[in-house]
Amino acid sequence: MTQAIVTGATSGIGHAITLALRDAGHDVLALGRDEAALAALDREPGITARRVDVTDRTALRAAIAGTEADVLVNNAGLMPPLTPFPDLDEAEIDRAISVNLTSVLALTRVVAPGMRARGRGHIFFTGSTAGHAPFANLALYCATKSAIAGFAQALRLDMAPHGVRVTEIVAGRVETGLYRDLLTPEQRAAMYAGNSAVQPTDVAAMLLHVLAMPPHVDVARFDILPTHQATATGAARKDR
């Protein structure tokens, strides 16, 4: 049985991926911060759940000690305030960079050498359309996700000679709790009205398809968008 590590595993995309990998036969180490959600995951067969702040490198190393992961899903991330960049607090900038980028580099640096030595493995990064197109009031988020996009594609070239694959997940509008603290319930309801958003389980299903590709195939990135989101920046939904 192969081992997998998933960060941000307690909700949304990370939770769906954790369950999907377990159902596909992987032994999953689920990392997150929500104690209640972690306790529920830990009761699931095939899943070991641990509470960890991904920005704490010492704690992160301790949490994954002894795990020889063949699958790493760098999913943990946050959405900074939806504010013009000049109005952001410096602490908000530092926090977003630490969670969305620095912690991802740190965890990958710990896990990737083992994959390279074993000659197998697959590293996934949960990116965003915001890493490939501009959005107003999202300059900071765009910056962190653009960095992830560039890192993922360059890392793929580093790891390919050793049989390790790397994939960026370019997600469009996915119905998760990412905006829970930034938008009102009414705004969130409008955003996801009419079953127009991709579901976390859709992303998890696509990840399994990519993971199941033969070893000589490396899917560098996959874009998963709502059907009506015709472009990275969105398109008006046509009335029928």
Report, as an integer, the average pLDDT of 164-185: 73
Question: Which of the following is catalytic: 124, 125, 141, 151?
Answer: 141
Average pLDDT, the chain: 89
pLDDT of 189 above 60: no
179 tagged catalytic = no
The string of pLDDT tens digits covering residues 196-208 is 688 999 999 999 9
Q: What domains lie within the chain, and their CATH numbers? A: 3-224 (3.40.50.720)
First to last CA, the chain: 48
pLDDT digits (tens, 9 = 90+) for 209-240: 999 999 999 999 999 988 875 444 444 444 43
CA dihedral 136, 141, 147, 149 (to 10 degrees): -80
Residue 19, pLDDT above cutoff 50: yes
pTM of the model: 0.88
